[in-house]
Amino acid sequence: MPAERMSLTADPSRCVGAGHCVRSAPEVFDQSEDGTVVLLRAEVPESDGVLDALDLCPSLATRLG
């Protein structure tokens, strides 16, 4: 059975540049030159790395939906 897909959003204006998202799911998140979140893909299969990225974000800049 394939993994459930999640729809993600990222708000660079809320981002504090901690980088937890990039370390947890580098295939989904990146950082711009100023260190804020960049979403590489908006719809991804559910994975522990993506869920960790969402849980670890100190500014809640990354979300489901």
What CATH code is carried by the domain that includes residue 40? Answer: 3.30.70.20
How many Å apart are CA 35 and CA 32, to the nearest integer?
Answer: 5
The structure tokens listed for 43 are 């719809």
Range of the domain at 18: 5-64
Q: Record the pTM.
A: 0.89
- Is the pLDDT at 6 greater than 80? The verdict is yes
- Is the pLDDT at 4 greater than 90? The verdict is no
In the chain, the number of structural domains is 1
Torsion of CA 50, 52, 53, 57, to 10 degrees: 150
- Is the pLDDT at 1 greater than 80? The verdict is no
Q: What is the pLDDT of residue 23?
A: 96
Q: What is the pLDDT of residue 3?
A: 67
pLDDT in tens, 9-56: 999 999 999 999 999 999 999 999 999 999 999 999 988 999 999 999
